[in-house]
């Protein structure tokens, strides 16, 4: 093998490690962003389930706010805001993966009438 090709391959190996070190933080950031989006989706889904549970309880004359509260996962119950009016409205805080992230909430509403049961 000619010496020029061998020296060229060694220099390329060093460049690849520098590129890998530069890409790893971006890859970790992308994974964190995807996980945070997943947590937001879970919070929205949970709020919707809780709103529907409250609407069902209201339809049969039960405790709508209590039913909505019980339908939420334990980690979301403390910060939840549940209101009972024309429809049951549930607002929950999105779980934060990093404490430095801002506090965001999602909300869902549900109402059932006599023919919806």
- Decide: pTM greater than 0.85: no
Reported as a single tens digit per residue, the pLDDT across 11-57 is 565 677 778 888 899 999 999 999 999 999 999 999 999 999 999 99
Burial grade of 88 (CB within 10 A; 0-12, 13-18, 19 or more): buried
DSSP 80: -
> What pLDDT does residue 31 have?
95
Asked if residues 75 and 51 have their Cβ atoms less than 8 Å apart, the reply is no
Of 33, 34, 47, the closest CA to residue 94 belongs to 47
Domain ranges of the chain: 3-110
Average pLDDT score over residue span 85-95: 94
115 has a pLDDT exceeding 80? no
């Amino acid at each position: 093998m000619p010496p020029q090709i061998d020296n060229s391959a060694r220099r390329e190996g060093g460049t690849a490690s520098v590129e890998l070190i530069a890409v790893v933080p971006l890859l970790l950031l992308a994974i964190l962003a995807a996980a945070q989006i997943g947590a937001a989706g879970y919070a929205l889904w949970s709020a919707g389930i809780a709103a529907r549970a409250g609407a069902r309880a209201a339809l049969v004359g039960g405790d709508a706010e209590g039913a909505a509260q019980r339908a939420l996962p334990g980690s979301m119950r403390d910060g939840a805001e549940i209101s009972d009016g024309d429809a049951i409205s549930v607002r929950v805080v999105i779980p934060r993966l990093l404490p430095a992230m801002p506090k965001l909430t999602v909300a869902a509403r549900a109402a059932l009438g006599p023919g919806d049961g």
